[in-house]
Each structure stands twice: as C-alpha cells, then as structure tokens.
Amino acid sequence: MGYHIAFSKPFQLKPRVCQISLTPSLHFCTSIPTPSPGEDPISPNPETTASPGPKPDPKTETPNVAQEKQFQRIPRAKQQHRGPEKLEDIICRMMANRDWTTRLQNSIRALVPEFDHSLVYNVLHGARKPDHALQFFRWVERAGLIQHDRETHMKIIQILGTCSMLNHARCIVLEDMPKKGFELDEDMFVLLIDSYGKAGIVQESVKMFSKMKELGVQRSVKSYDALFKVIVRKGRYMMAKRFFNKMLDEGIGPTRHTYNVLIWGFFLSMRLRTAVRFFEDMKVRGISPDVVTYNTMINGYYRLKKMEEAEKLFLEMKAKDIAPTVISYTTMIKGYLEVDRINDGLRLLEEMKSFGIKPNNVTYTTLLPGLCDSGKMTETRGILKEMVMRRIAPKDNTIFLELLNSHCKAVDLKAAVDVLDAMIKLSIPTEAGHYGILIENFCKAEEYDQAVKLVDKVIENDIILRPQSTLEMESSAYNPVIQYLCSHGQTGKAEILFRQLLKKGVEDPLAFNNLICGHAKEGNPDSAFEILRIMGRKGIPRDANAYRLLIESYLRKGEPADAKTALDSMIEDGHLPDSSMFRSVMESLYEDGRVQTASRVMKSMVEKGLTGNMDLVAKILEALLMRGHEEEALGRIDLLMSSQCSVNFDNLLSILSEKGKTIAALKLLDFGLQRDCDIDFKSYDKVLDALLAAGKTLNAYSILCKIMEKAGVTSWKSYEDLIKSLNQEGNTKQADILSRMIKGNDKSHENKKAKKKASVAA
C-alpha cells in the first residue's frame, strides 16, 4: 500500500527532530492519484488524480497514527478563532511587494517579537516568490532567530522542487540537513525524485534513487512508486521493467498502486501486451484490481481503438461489484464516439444517469463534438440545455465554436444563438470569432436585422478589443455586414466596427472601400476621404468605384476643389477616370469660378488621351484668355494641338476682339501664325481693327507685318488709317515700311492674278 507523507509534532517550541507519521494525508503525495471526476486515467499529468490504493479505515488506525493526527500542525491561515490580521500574511505581503534587502529583514524583525516554527512554516507556505522563501528560510536561521525543524526543511524542499530550483533543494537534503544532525530518510528523497521528474530530468531522479542506497537510506515501495511514476511518464518502459525486477529481487512486494502506475505508463507508451501482462500478474499475486485499475485498462484499450476488449473489462468490472465511476462511463463514451458508435455512447449516458452518476464537464466535452460530427443536433441542444441548468462549463471552451459552426451548417440559427446565450450564462468569455460566425450566417440567410443586433453587442461591449481574446472575427463575417450597413445609411456604425478591427491589425481593402462608398452615398465625403488617407498610409489599394462615388459626393455637395483633390488621388493610384468624370469636375470648377484649376484638370484629361468634351474646353480657354492667363491658355492650346485636337482660333479671336481683350487676341494670333494654324482673314481684320481702335498702333503694325509675311495680302481696309496713325505718333519709319509693303504686295497680287488668267486661257 502506498502511503502519503504528513509532518506533525507536539507543540513544543524548542528545536527537536520530529518523527514522521505515515498517514494518508495530502502533504507531499508521491503516488499517482486517482483522476479527478472525468479526468483521463492515463493522462501525462498523473498528479491530477488521487491515490488508487485503498483508503485506510479510521476505525482501524493505530493509536499512534490517531495521536499524531491529533497533533498535526494546521497552517495558521486555517486555524480558527484568529484575528483578521495574521502575522504571517503581513510578512508574506511585505516579501511580495519588496526586494529582499537588509531593510526588509529589519522590518520583519521589528514586526515579530519572537519567531516560532509554526510562524516560519506558514510564511514559507504563503510566500509568493520561491527565491524570497529561500532567502527567508536561510535568514531566520543565520540571524539566530530560530533553528529549523523537520517540517520547515521539508516545506522549503517542496517549494524549491515545485519551482524547479532543484540544486538548492538537493543541497539542503544532501549537505545542510546532515550537518545539522538531521537523519536522512526516504521521504526527503521521494520529494527530490518527484521534483526532478516533474522537471523532466529523469536521470537525476534515478541518481537520487541510487543515492539512497549509498547513504544507507532504506528504500520501500514508496520510493519505487515515485521512481516508476517519473520514468514511465517519459516513456522509459524498459527501465521501469528493470527497476520492477530489481524491486522484487530486494524482496519489496508491489502494491495495487504500483501496478496502477506501471499499467498507466505502459499504455502511455502504447505497450498493450506489457500492460495486459502486468494486469494479469497483479491478479496472480493476489492483488485485486480496483476501479482505478479498470479505468486505466479501459482507457488504454480505447486509445488503441479496441472497444471490444474495453467492453469486456467494463462488464467484468460490474460483475465483480466494482461500481463504475463517472470516469469509467466517460472513458467508455469517449471510446464509442471514437469508433462512430454514437448510439452506444448515448445509451451509456442514460445508464449512468439512471444509476445516479451525474455527468461532469469532461463527459459533456467528450459527447458534444461527437454528436456535432454525426449531425445529431437535437441531442446536442438537449445536452447543452442540461449543462446550463447544472451550471457546468465544458473542460474545453473550443467546443462552443464547433457547436456554433454545426448549428449554422444545419441552418438552425436560433440554436446557434442559444449556444452564445449558454456561453454567457456559464460565464464563458464570448469572443469576436463567436459573434462572427453568427453574423456571417445571418448575412447569408439575409436576416440582416439579426446580424446588426449582434454588431451592436460587439461594439457596445468592446468584444473585439478584449486583450484576452484569441478568436478573431473573419473577413467573411464583417465584410457582408459592413457592406449592408454602408448601403443602408448606417455607415457610421460600420466605421465604428471596422475601426475596432483596425486596432487589431485588420486591413481589409474591401471593408475600406465599402466605408468610402457608404460615406459618399450619405453625403459625408470628408469622412470618406479620411478613410482614403488611412488606406494610403497603410499602402492598401483603393477601388476606382470608391473614388467615383467620393468625387460625385463632393460635386453634389458643391465642393469642386475637394473633388479635384480626390480626382488627383485617383490618378496617382493608377486609376483612369472616364471623360464624363473629368467633365463633371471641370464643369463644377468652371462654374465655381476656378478656371485655372479647371484648366489643370483639362490638362490631366488630355495627357491621359481623353479628347472629348471640347465644348467645355473651349469655354475654359476663353475664360483663361479673358482673365489674362494668356501663357497658360497658350500652353493648353499647344497641348491640345499636339494631341491632335482642333482649336477654333477664329471663334476665340472674334470673342477677344469684340470684348476688347486686344493683348490676349494679339498673343493668340501671333501663336497661330507661328504654328501656321488655319485662321480666317476675317479674324486678322478683327484683331487689327481692335488694336487700331485701342490705339495700339505699333502692336497692329507688328502683327500686320507678320500676317503679310505669312499669309500675304489681307482684305483689311484700314491700312491708310494705320499708316496715318503711325505718322501722327511719330513712327514715320514704320509707316513708310508699311506703305512700301502694301504696294509691293499689291503688285505681287496683280501678277498672281495675271498668271492665273493665262493658265486658265491655256
């Protein structure tokens, strides 16, 4: 029989070596415990189970054991009739909040008038930092405040072993305690063997076991059991068999607990035959298997998918009047589900209920995935309802994700909503991913009102921004609902949702563009443009349709300058607006009096190869010339001509001449003459008349000379008036040159006429 270790001593305060009582206490358990309700008997962490050995009967305990229980030390925190302020609690709080310094030591010394072993034990027990616990342990003895007894030594060894400070624990056992006169015994080494095993250092556990013999410490089945637990946990089943044989050679008989540990380990290493052989061997030795043994065997068979053998053992167990526990039933149910025997699993569930055995969280966690996979959604709903009524949460919360997906796949959205409600009632944190599944499927079913209600909950409770959240909302969930909100006048709500997603690193182009479209449709182009800027900063591609809607929104709102800015951004992003969009922006700017800005848009349009909307282009050119922006206008005309676009010079010259814009007309005519443009003689006459009327005789003389040089004789009838004005203004030289030019052109004109007549006669 495996024993647990408890440490007790009479309440004398003088240092003394205390006897060890081998009572089934919970202190320093060294055997594999029984699984907690529903726990897997062959789990890699056997500490989660209680001892499989038989429990001692209090009526049959020896007087010495009962007497030692009477004097067993109770931590001060658990003692009754104590004041609310406990000295050890104050010391533990001071140690937790401060570094270990001489000042802290002095504060503790000033707080405690006299140290006793119970106080030191409780301070070690309540210490939050293992290094502080060790420093406190060493300090109180070095300072002469107390001489540690056995219990405080064992407590610090336990603390150090639990926190993997194994070198310190080893030194205390092998060096410090012998120097102080303490006799080493098996319990100390059991602690070290178990601690090294938990740290995964199997070889050190084996060394500690061997060290016992070197130091003359008697080994019993207790130390062997501790060693077996360590080595089989790491899959060293051959080593376990060797030590088992060695134990038998030393005349130490195995207990039921020994066999339970070994069988558990053999199944852990998938050594079925070895496990079965040891199961039979324990019967041969007259050791009756208990419920833990059967549970371990059943679990091993289930893991190997040998449910027929597991069923035989389950029936054998009941035939021997060994009542199955919730673990037994849960393991069988798990095995049935593993081999797709769902109905057998449900039958066992009803059987265990009929015997008054209530399913636990592991049972429910085992059942629900299998029922979901088999499509038994009605049974799933019943079990979930039962869990909520009993306030039992599953062991694995990821089962709720599977439940949501299964109900949605079955198009039972009401049941899916009930799953979310069950999570809330069971105080299980709901995450964005859970809501996302429902939102996505409500959108697929076109039940957008329900999806929006869920979005409201997500926003209101900041579910997306919860730091502990691990299940994020997928794009297939938030994109449809954002698109719906944006197309139904609720873009503000959609943006709140997406900005929360943005804080979690979500940068979805589709969601961004939907927000832009929504704001644009609702007449909030500034909000839409802000989204565009965010996309630009993050390097996210922007949609041409979103730009189109944004520009249209700005134009409807009467903000052509912002529309032009959006148009520029659209072009910079590599999108080509169509000619109608260019026209809309140009027209809006023109009507708003922003002629030069409209001109720049026109320039961009022509450079992109779009040559339509020439009626508006002519208006812009006219406005530029009328406002004195001749150079800009001429630059645009040059661009148009190089793009094979025709410009109506005659119309422009006529308008400018009629409205007295002589300088603009002069520059435009000069530009046309330099490029040999097709200009009617009547346009020359209009410009010359306007210049002469404005008294700009030299300008008229200059352009007339160019006309005569390029185009020859004109029909202008005001030559004499111009010559007269030049003479009156003292420009006689220019007047003389002009007269001779006119005469020479007349003769040339006559000669041309004669030649023409001769050619016709011939």
Give yes or no: residues 523 and 498 share one domain. no
Strand positions, DSSP E, 235-373: none
Residue 365 CA to residue 360 CA, distance in Å, equals: 9
Q: ∠ CA(481), CA(527), CA(517), 5° rounding?
A: 45
**Structure-token pair, residue 19:** 């006897």
Give yes or no: residues 465 and 482 share one domain. yes
Q: How many CB atoms lie under 10 A from the CB of residue 138?
A: 15
Residue 410, judged by CB atoms within 10 A of its CB (0-12, 13-18, 19+), counts as middle
- Backbone torsion region of residue 492, taken as left when φ is above 0, otherwise alpha when ψ lies between -120 and 50, otherwise beta: alpha
Contact residues for 169 (Cβ-Cβ < 8 A; gap 6+): 156, 157, 160, 161, 191, 192, 195
Task: Using 50 as the pLDDT threshold, list the residues of the chain that sit under it.
Answer: 1-82, 747-762
Q: Which amino acid, residue 759?
A: S
**Is there a domain that residue 149 lies in?**
no
**Is there a domain that residue 712 lies in?**
yes
**Structure-token pair, residue 123:** 């301070």
Residue 274 CA to residue 262 CA, distance in Å, equals: 9
**Structure-token pair, residue 268:** 């852990």
439 close to 477: Cβ distance less than 8 angstroms: yes
Contact residues for 468 (Cβ-Cβ < 8 A; gap 6+): 429
679 φ/ψ angles, rounded to the nearest 5 degrees: -125, 135
Q: What is the pLDDT of residue 751?
A: 45
Give yes or no: residues 743 and 684 share one domain. yes
Q: Which of 464, 454, 377 is nearest to 421 (CA)?
A: 454
CA 534 to chain centre: 20
Give yes or no: residues 456 and 513 share one domain. no
How many helices and strands (H and E) does the chain possess?
40, 2
Give yes or no: residues 704 and 741 share one domain. yes
Q: ∠ CA(161), CA(18), CA(144), 5° rounding?
A: 75
Q: What is the pLDDT of residue 266?
A: 94
Q: For 547-559, what is each residue's pLDDT tens digit?
A: 888 899 999 989 9
Q: What is the pLDDT of residue 442?
A: 95
Q: What is the largest CA-CA distance in the chain?
A: 159
**Is there a domain that residue 705 lies in?**
yes
Q: Which amino acid, residue 17?
A: V
**Is there a domain that residue 579 lies in?**
no
Residue 197, judged by CB atoms within 10 A of its CB (0-12, 13-18, 19+), counts as buried
7 membership: H or E segment, kind and range = strand 6-7
Q: ∠ CA(694), CA(698), CA(699), 5° rounding?
A: 65
Residue by residue, DSSP assigns 29-74 as --SPPPBPTT--TT-S-GGGB---SPPPPGGG--HHHHHHHHTB--
Q: What DSSP designation does 76 have?
A: G
465 close to 424: Cβ distance less than 8 angstroms: no
The domain boundary, picked from 549, 570, 591, lies at 570
**Structure-token pair, residue 411:** 């198009």
Give me the residues paired with residue 35 across strands.
49
**Structure-token pair, residue 449:** 């009102």
Q: What is the pLDDT of residue 746?
A: 52
Give me the residues paired with residue 6 across strands.
21
Q: In total, how many domains does the chain have?
A: 3
348 close to 379: Cβ distance less than 8 angstroms: no
Give yes or no: residues 688 and 755 share one domain. yes
191 close to 212: Cβ distance less than 8 angstroms: no
**Is there a domain that residue 494 lies in?**
yes
Could you list the residue range(s) of the whole structural domain that residue 708 is in? 678-761
SS3 222: helix
Q: What is the pLDDT of residue 28?
A: 31
Give yes or no: residues 496 and 544 share one domain. no
Residue 561 CA to residue 555 CA, distance in Å, equals: 9
Q: What is the pTM of this model?
A: 0.67
Q: ∠ CA(514), CA(552), CA(556), 5° rounding?
A: 120
Q: How many CB atoms lie under 10 A from the CB of residue 653?
A: 26
CATH number of 443's domain = 1.25.40
**Is there a domain that residue 396 lies in?**
no
**Is there a domain that residue 483 lies in?**
yes
What are the CA-CA distances from residue 399 to residues 47, 352, 367, 467 (Å)?
25, 23, 10, 21
Give yes or no: residues 517 and 442 share one domain. no
Q: Which of 568, 560, 504 is nearest to 536 (CA)?
A: 568
Q: What is the pLDDT of residue 756?
A: 41
Q: Which amino acid, residue 690?
A: A
Residue 27 CA to residue 50 CA, distance in Å, equals: 12
**Is there a domain that residue 109 lies in?**
no
Residue 204 CA to residue 220 CA, distance in Å, equals: 19
Q: What is the pLDDT of residue 39?
A: 41
Give me the residues paired with residue 20 across strands.
7
SS3 711: helix
420 close to 435: Cβ distance less than 8 angstroms: yes
SS (H, E, C) 290-330: CHHHHHHHHHHHHHCCCHHHHHHHHHHHHHCCCCCCHHHHH
Q: Which of 19, 22, 28, 21 is nearest to 150 (CA)?
A: 19
Residue with tokens 């998918």: 305
Q: What is the pLDDT of residue 61?
A: 39
Q: What is the pLDDT of residue 332?
A: 95
Contact residues for 339 (Cβ-Cβ < 8 A; gap 6+): 305, 307
324 close to 356: Cβ distance less than 8 angstroms: no
Give yes or no: residues 553 and 495 share one domain. no
- Sign of the alpha-carbon torsion through 751, 755, 760, 762: positive
Residue 159 CA to residue 129 CA, distance in Å, equals: 10
Give yes or no: residues 718 and 701 share one domain. yes
Give yes or no: residues 433 and 486 share one domain. yes
Give yes or no: residues 511 and 462 share one domain. no
Residue 411 CA to residue 77 CA, distance in Å, equals: 55
Q: ∠ CA(601), CA(603), CA(605), 5° rounding?
A: 70
**Structure-token pair, residue 79:** 């003692």
**Structure-token pair, residue 668:** 């435009």
SS3 741: helix
